[in-house]
Structure 1
């Protein structure tokens, strides 16, 4: 496939895009400068660096019918300044008690990207009492997977990222834009949940039916997917789609995570999944649900970039499905069960199990995604309840405009009818957990954030 062509999986993410299902990833990074900084100077620096990253100058061009594939094209006279804004927190960002950055970022992340333009936006946010500032970034999933998004974000930081090629700016470039407020996406009428799920079956059968007719590996993924579909009643996290989002920030101590691993075994990702299971157990109780009668499952994305037949700048993803043992009260037993499930997944491999449906999506004709992906996307709750993804960063200190990076929180988009997504970035001494929730389904994301902290503490204090 030519380098400028979108893969079928890239197109699938575009086809899932909607006013209540924005398909971009997000990052919130905070920096502590040694002296006050000029926000417009920082924005100009980010603009200059973004202008030198060719992928950020590209937009999608769809092929004419009937083929409906798509290619990347460089925007003529691209100006990166169109995608970078300065936002100063003031009284309008404090309508209610809470962190004004979280309030502002929640509304900003809820708004979808313009899919006719380059698929990214950035904000430089100032106005903090301690003089710190934040970089907010969103990148559409069609542009990159988690690993690719991290590489693009690193390209905006000091001394990081790949060599850049300058994209010629417009004649009037140089100015950055200032805004005083961000608003979320406008509300849209909702389809009844039962109707949406009722329309899923035909789309699933059609899409998987075509897949079964292909190679044995593709047929195996499709068959395993069908066997993994969960019967009624619906999971506790199932909800109506909403344009409203809310984020939660949790910083865990990497020393405690390492101590848990040393005491009980497993990988950092195993510990993360066990911590999530414990947090969701408490969350279910808080919602009046009996966790002992609940069954929740996580999709754990897996990069297959090294296994790809051809190099790609876009998505090279598969995934594992991991049952989260929310019914188990003992935190150590929860970790043991997660370890066992993930070891089974790894033995099966990332391109064979039911969680490999991104691989399946990448093998389907692009035209089929244009017809069926939105309908099939509504079936996501039949396979999994939440996404739990971990994105690696270099362990070296990083910064922006000479200001050291303090914390970095990632955010993953929500699949249709799902309440929450969980993304994790280990950086230096912290394990940074970004929660993004459907604000109509999860009234208090802070309670869920607290539950994550308590869940790790329970594991840490069970060391021998």
Structure 2
């Protein structure tokens, strides 16, 4: 039985999890239904196809390999399950009037750690005209790009970018070629210098920071989700009129929505500039296999305290340009790269401490999840909307994920259910902010 050692960042995600702090990502897809039984038929399709997707058979098991190079004390590996039963992972629920209400309750449940850590929950619509599927994948099993590949394997055949085979490497756990040792030493020294640079940036980023109380929460284990759809053409019009990138506009919309949310709550936005972590993938889409999180990130301050939408957009653009000039391997936002410098046993022993440290580094996660521009179907039911959900860091109240799908931007909001009972207000604020930004930009 073959196994694949977890990469350092995957191992970190596996070890920082707790019942109050699940580390799975999710996506809620909404499908147009051709009959009231479409949801039940979707369960049959998903279960039958899950057997054919090798990545869905993988569970995560502890491994101890003292003779490996490097030694894997306290590590973990993905291993195929010989008696895989897809019906343990695909479930049909009662008809729902509000998909997000059910999705929030399902997202708060940790995935089982003794079996392949993924689930697909089918939610029939109460009126029979649509149904939804909530996919959950543990972040140690798959990042956003890999989760897309796994989920796409359960859909009807579609044209996805062909994955190029990865160049042959020395298998993990074997001694390297001695001829490569000088290069490995030079690389190790460079890695140490990079780690010190990132560590210094992290220290500066956490020094004299004013917390944003509305975005801070003790972990309750509860979850609430919401989704917002915005016309991509509107985003492009704003970008052309005000400059910057599509991503700059999408981040600025989050800043404006947070301002509206705070004001409706009766909280002051004066001086509020929460630190947003913007993950950056270090892996090319065409080399997305095999699995393994390869992430860095940018850290910016969201100009929530600025009352002018265009000025907010300009501030986001400036901050993102500065980050891009420095590159994704430097600065406090690249803290995920430090996982590569921690031995497996360190991840196991220090997982809880690392999880608690997230709120010291950033206040909110704003991440982009790539989706194919082509349409997808399950059976004969087309996918009409898809809302991504990011893992919620310990001590934080809110995370934002965004995807572009078939001419629309889909925001997926996930929050601590007790800390943010008014998540619908924030969702409405995103729509209102988009409309105002279109108006004031003259687009």
One fold, TM greater than 0.5? yes
Change (3 A) 1:348 1:308: farther
Q: Give 1:319's aligned residue.
A: 297
Residues 180-199 of structure 1 aligned to structure 2 (within 5 Å)? none
* Cα distance in 1 for residues equivalent to 2:435 and 2:228: 13
Aligned with 2:427 (options 444, 449, 459): 449
Shift in CA distance, 227/48, structure 1 to aligned 2, threshold 3 Å: same
Structure 1 counterpart of 2:194: 217
1:274-313 → structure 2 map (5 Å cutoff): 274-306=252-284, 312-313=290-291
**Residue 120 of structure 1 aligns with which residue?**
118
How far does the alpha carbon of each residue in 1:47-79 deviate from its partner, in whole angstroms, 9 at most, with x for none?
A: 122211111101111123871111111111212
What is the distance in 2 between the residues matched to 1:254 and 1:271?
11
Matched, 1:392 2:370: yes
Question: What's the secondary structure of 1:326's corresponding residue?
Answer: coil
2:361 to 367, 370, 383: 383
Q: Which runs of 5+ in 2 are unaligned?
A: 67-72, 164-187
Q: Following TM superposition, by how much is the alpha carbon of 1:421 offset from its aligned partner in structure 2, in angstroms?
A: 0.5
Q: Which moved more, 1:124-133 or 1:11-20?
A: 124-133
- TM-score w.r.t. structure 1 length? 0.83
CA distance, structure 1, for counterparts of residue 47 and residue 161 of structure 2: 16
Say if 2:417 is the partner of 1:439.
yes
Aligned pair 1:72/2:78, yes or no?
yes
User: Is the 1:393–1:425 Cα contact (8 Å) retained in structure 2?
Assistant: yes
Unaligned runs of 5+ in 1: 94-98, 165-210
Within 2, Cα distance between the matches of 1:65 and 1:149?
Answer: 28
- 1:28 — aligned with what? 28
Name the residue aligned to 2:184.
none
SS at match of 1:71: strand
Question: Post-superposition shift, 1:126?
Answer: 1.0
State the shift of 1:463 in Å.
2.1
- Any conservation in 1 of the 2:387–2:411 contact (CA below 8 Å)? yes
2:195 and 2:189 mapped to 1: Cα distance? 7
- Closer, same or farther: CA 130–40 of 1 in aligned 2, 3 Å: closer
Match of 2:149 among 133, 139, 151: 151
The corresponding residue for 2:57 is 57
**Structure 1 match to 2:335:** 357
2:40 is paired with a residue whose SS is helix
**1:7 pairs with 2:13:** no
Aligned-pair CA distance for 1:219: 1.4
User: Aligned partners of 2:189 and 2:272: how far apart in 1?
Assistant: 32
Pairwise CA distance, 1:40? 3.1
Contact 1:299–1:386 (Cα < 8 Å) also in 2: yes
**What's the offset of the Cα at 1:24?**
0.3
* Structure 2 residue corresponding to 1:461, chosen from 430, 434, 439: 439
State the superposition RMSD in angstroms. 2.4
Measured against aligned partners, the alpha-carbon deviations of 1:266-299 in whole angstroms (never above 9, x if no partner) come to 1111111100000111122233322122220111
Please state how far the C-alpha of 1:376 moved relative to its aligned partner: 2.3
Asked if the contact 2:211–2:274 (Cα under 8 Å) also holds between the matched residues in 1, the reply is no
Q: Secondary structure in 2 aligned to 1:292?
A: coil
SS in structure 1 at match of 2:103: helix
Structure 1 residues 18, 375: CA separation in 2 closer, same or farther (over 3 Å shift)? same
Which stretch has the larger CA shift, 416-425 or 374-383?
Answer: 374-383
CA contact (8 A) 1:277 1:324 kept: yes
Distance in 1 between residues matched to 2:138 and 2:128, nearest whole Å:
32
Deviation of 1:303 after TM superposition, in Å, equals 0.5
Write out per-residue CA displacement over residues 343-366 of structure 1, whole angstroms, 9 at most, x where no aligned residue: 111111111111011111133211
From 261, 266, 270, the counterpart of 2:239: 261
Deviations, residues 126-172 of structure 1 (Å, cap 9, x unaligned): 143142111111000001111111121111111136999xxxxxxxx
Please tell me whether the aligned partners of residues 230 and 382 of structure 1 are also in contact (alpha carbons under 8 angstroms): no
Q: Which residue of 2 aligns with 1:181?
A: none
- 1:175-230 Cα offsets, whole Å, 9 max, x none, are xxxxxxxxxxxxxxxxxxxxxxxxxxxxxxxxxxxx99962112111111111114
Q: 1:56 to 1:346 in 2, by over 3 A?
A: same
